[in-house]
Amino acid sequence: MKAIKNIMFIVFVFNNINLFAQAPVPIQTFDGTVYSEFIYAGPNDNEVDYKSELNYNDTRFIKEGDASRMLKWNFKKGQYFGWGVNLSGGGKGFDASGIKFLTFWVIGINGNETFQIKIKDMKGVEHQVQSRKYLKVSTEWQEIKVPLSDFPSGVDFTRIENINLGFNEIASGSSGTIYIDNFQLIY
Ligand SMILES: [Ca+2]
């Protein structure tokens, strides 16, 4: 009887794994490499005052695990920078079929920091949404949850090249500092 109960339990567990098989996909936790990160700045990279640094020490600014990432900008007119995760994976791109949301955590040094959330496909088609549509960044950690359906059509979600956060003088103001953690794609 005990053996039967055990088997039934195993069957129950397997059924549930099947039902909920689509676990969140971690894309960057800052606690070890998930997908590689990149940064960009312009129009002249070496003239832009920005920082992108892992934070291991200030635990108030770590949401989960051992680290988060600090992004800091101090722009002159027309300057920009960005941070992102490269999902191109040997040229194939990331197949996000069935994925409904991009989620991550964010906290600001002053609150009300704003930025763009961008998705680019392997053909170079990129679209963006504005962070303020989803939440007002504050001095507490908050989770931002962006429906992929909010991105204008044209991006090939079966072949995503990268997901990035964009900061520019118009969208993000002249200066700011945020910390980010735990980027996931949710089915
Ligand atoms: Ca982390």
Fold of 23-186: Jelly Rolls (2.60.120)
DSSP 112: -
**162 Cα–ligand 1 center, Å:** 19
| C-alpha 105 – ligand 1 centre gap (Å) | 10
5 Cα to the center of ligand 1, angstroms: 39
Q: What secondary structure, in 3-state letters, does 8-42 show?
A: HHHHHHHHHHHHCCCCCEEEECCCCCCCCEEEEEE
pLDDT in tens, the chain (187 residues): 555 555 555 555 555 555 556 899 999 999 987 899 999 999 999 999 999 999 999 999 999 999 999 999 999 999 999 999 999 988 999 999 999 999 999 999 999 999 999 999 999 999 999 999 999 999 999 999 999 999 988 999 999 999 999 999 999 999 999 999 999 999 9
- Residue 33: the pLDDT is 74
pTM equals: 0.88
Give me the pLDDT at residue 34, please: 81
Q: Return the pLDDT at 19.
A: 58
Using the mean position of ligand 1's atoms as its centre, give its distance from the Cα of residue 125 in Å. Answer: 29
